Structure formats: structure tokens, C-alpha cells
């Protein structure tokens, strides 16, 4: 292989790395605003849960939130809403916020605009039909490039990412300690607790809320975090 060919391969490899990093960047989007935290001194953090809704997840999460007088934003999958619409209504009735996590939960890179639009609109319609107010979108697997952010902007939704997420551990106490240690005023915390294999997160949740309270931080929804932060400016 000649030098020019080698240089071309190297440039393509470098371009691939750049594109991959952009596609998974938490706080950057090629189009439109992306929220991963809010700059505020108010002692509040946004607590968010992805996926579902599932019976095991909702049944485990809601009582813990209620005991701590905490609220959260649940980013739900459209096809799961169709299976369990009653769970969406339960979340809404409990005072929690619902966000759009796409309809099929595929990684949204390389599709036409019509696909992104359908994924967003179908899920938004299901959320509204079950009493939720739409306005927020979170990409599955955090993957996004140009097409998805453009569709989110055209749908007048805010893309919400995070700056604190599930640790890779099977120890609930270690899971909770890491999240609490990283949480700061204005943080957006992501927890996966809906699926059967998320038992560690479900067991860690009471410890997370206890730890946040010990740091003087109150868990609220994304919408409440934005409202309170704006009111303090």
C-alpha cells in the first residue's frame, strides 16, 4: 500500500473516531440545544429513569420516591407504553414527568428524517393519550449525529442527556455512593431501573436518595430543575 493510500486510511480512521465521539457526546449536539446539567447554586438535581414502563420498575421506584417526597422524569419507550398504558397514567397521577425515549429504542444513526419523525411523533401521541405532557426527548443509547437532533428540533422538543449515570457495579451500596459523590447542584442523573436485570439500581435507589438528602440535595424532575434554575437567575 502506498503512502497516499495509507494516509487516506488514517484520515478515514480519524474521521470515524471523531464522528463516533460526536454521536455519543453528552453535552454537545450538531443541531439544537442539549441539556446535560444546569448551572445553578440551588440545591436540586434532576432524577431521570430510562426505558419501560415495566411493572417491576414502576412498582419498585414509586414507593421510594414517595417516601422521600421526590419527583423524577421518566423517559419512556413508545412500544412499551402501548403494552402498559396504565403504568404511564400511574406515573402521571403520582406527579412525575414523562419524556420521549423513542418508539422502538433503536440506536438512531443513519436513518432518514421520516423515520426519526415517526419515532418521535408516535411516542409523543402515546404520552399525551395517557395524560403526560411532552416536551423532552432522550436518544436511545445516547446516540445522535445530525438527523436525529434536527428531527428533535423540528418537533420542538429539548434533547436531555445527563452528567451522572449508572455505575458499572453489582453492589447497590457502591452504586449509590458513586452517584451521590458525583451529584452537584444542577446535575441530571440517569438511572436504569426498569428492566429485570436492573435489580442493583432498584436496590440502590433508597440509598441514593438518602445520600442526596445528606448532601443537602433534593431530587426533582427535569422540568422542575429548569423552572427553579430560571427563577433564581
User: Is 192 marked active-site?
Assistant: yes
Which residues face 136 on adjacent strands? 158
Catalytic residue, candidates 39, 50, 170, 197: 50
Q: What is the secondary structure of 70-122 as a DSSP string?
A: ---EEEE-HHHHHH-HHHHHHHHHTT-EEEE--SS----SS--HHHHHHHHHH
> Could you tell me the three cell numbers for 87?
403504568
User: Is 71 marked active-site?
Assistant: no
> Could you tell me the three cell numbers for 74?
421518566
Catalytic residue, candidates 124, 192, 197, 233: 192
Run of H or E including 125:
helix 113-129
3-state SS string over 135-191?
CEECCHHHCCCCHHHHHHHHCCCEEECCCECCCCCCCHHHHHHHHHHHCCCCEEEEE
What residues are annotated to the active site? Answer: 50, 192
Amino acid at each position: 500500500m502506498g503512502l497516499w493510500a495509507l494516509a487516506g486510511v488514517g484520515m478515514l480512521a480519524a474521521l470515524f473516531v471523531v464522528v463516533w465521539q460526536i454521536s455519543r457526546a453528552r453535552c454537545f449536539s450538531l443541531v439544537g440545544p442539549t441539556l446535560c446539567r444546569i448551572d445553578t447554586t440551588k440545591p436540586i438535581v434532576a432524577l431521570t429513569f430510562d426505558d419501560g414502563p415495566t411493572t417491576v420498575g414502576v412498582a419498585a421506584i414509586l414507593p421510594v420516591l414517595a417516601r422521600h417526597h421526590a419527583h423524577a422524569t421518566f423517559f419512556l419507550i413508545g412500544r412499551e407504553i402501548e403494552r402498559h398504558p396504565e403504568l404511564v397514567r400511574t406515573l402521571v397521577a403520582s406527579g412525575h414527568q414523562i419524556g420521549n425515549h423513542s418508539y422502538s429504542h433503536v440506536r438512531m444513526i443513519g436513518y432518514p428524517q421520516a423515520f426519526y419523525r415517526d419515532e418521535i411523533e408516535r411516542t409523543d401521541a402515546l404520552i399525551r393519550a395517557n395524560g403526560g405532557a411532552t416536551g423532552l426527548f432522550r436518544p436511545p443509547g445516547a446516540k445522535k449525529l445530525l438527523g436525529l437532533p434536527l428531527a428533535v428540533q423540528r418537533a420542538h422538543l429539548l434533547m436531555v442527556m445527563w452528567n451522572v449515570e449508572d455505575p458499572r457495579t453489582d453492589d447497590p451500596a457502591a452504586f449509590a455512593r458513586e452517584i451521590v459523590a458525583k451529584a452537584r447542584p444542577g446535575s441530571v442523573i440517569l438511572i436504569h431501573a426498569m428492566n429485570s436485570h436492573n435489580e442493583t439500581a432498584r436496590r440502590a435507589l433508597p440509598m441514593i436518595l438518602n445520600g442526596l438528602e445528606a448532601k443537602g440535595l433534593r431530587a426533582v424532575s427535569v422540568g422542575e430543575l429548569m423552572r427553579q434554575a430560571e427563577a433564581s437567575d
